[in-house]
Amino acid sequence: MEKLINCPLCNNTDLKDFLNVKDFFLSKEDFIIQECKKCGFRFLNPRPESVNLQKYYNSEEYVSHSDTSKGLINKAYHIFRYYNLSKKYKIINSKKQNGKILDIGCGTAEFLKYCKNKNWEVAGIEPNDKAREISETKNHLHIIPENEITKLESNSFDIITLWHVLEHISDLNFQISEIKRLLKKEGYVFIAVPNHLCYDAFKYKEYWAAWDVPRHLYHFTQSSMKTLVQKYNFQIEEIFPMKLDAFYVSLLSEKYLNKKINYFSAFLTGLKSNHKAKTNNNFSSLIYVIKNSNV
């Protein structure tokens, strides 16, 4: 296990334990989420070393890598994903109508395939071997492994996307600095992450599925995301909700809490979470539209 001494966001050394959470999805191991006493950022600490993290993804049930549709929850994931593809593209299209796009943590490259069909030039990065293989065989796209990001040409992308990916990346600050290097002067970054200030997180507490330890290393709020991107001279232009995530996360959370899924309770929680978020934008997941302000 690797123990962080400093907050990844503000470098402060004064940290405290926030919550003990079990890996309900796979290993059943217990982990600690810590909180920075200075900036309030929450992150997994200690955490598995980078070389050992992949074993926590090795399951047929990890649908973004396996593309499985077995079981009701995975079927729901595929339905939500299809809806979200068009929503994500619509948001991107409001900023740029064509160009070159890089999807970091692209999984099986469904989003890149969608963009390619819209005449974008596409590139992807994915650390998981199985997901890259599916990208090749199913979607006919060559995706590079994570460690080859440094080989990509600087100032070469109009759009860079991370759809529920930033929370998984071991070296947070290196990743943002690489995004800065790769993005064109007038480019945009689109980052989707869970938001632990949502109602469903408060309801389910340590059973909230979007803690997803140890795969999720960082836990963002609107404030912490703003602090992070401003460190690298980016600006958040807009924030969009991912309303379906409240229902999907609640389904999983019910399963973790009750050892079975209470579909009615999950549906009501999703509705309530989205309703409460209308006043403060604290939806279960948020998409941040980030402009390169290096002008």
- pLDDT of 64-76, one tens digit each? 544 554 556 556 6
Output the pLDDT for position 76: 60
How far apart, in whole angstroms, are the C-alpha atoms of residue 264 and residue 277? 20
Q: Walk me through the domains of the chain, giving residue ranges and CATH numbers.
A: 59-292 (3.40.50.150)
214 prior amide bond cis, ω within 30: yes
Strand partners, 4: none
- pLDDT of 163-206, one tens digit each? 999 999 999 999 999 999 999 999 999 999 999 999 999 999 99
Mean pLDDT for the chain? 92
> Collapsing DSSP states into helix, strand and coil, what is residue 280?
coil
How far apart, in whole angstroms, are the C-alpha atoms of residue 40 and residue 246? 23
Give the pLDDT band of residue 59 (cuts 50, 70, 90).
Answer: confident
46 prior amide bond cis, ω within 30: yes
Strand partners, 105: none
- Inform me whether the pLDDT recorded for 26 exceeds 50: yes
> If you average pLDDT over residues 233-244, what whole number do you get?
96
- pLDDT of 152-167, one tens digit each? 999 999 999 999 999 9
Output the pLDDT for position 84: 80
> Collapsing DSSP states into helix, strand and coil, what is residue 102?
strand
How far apart, in whole angstroms, are the C-alpha atoms of residue 244 and residue 33? 25
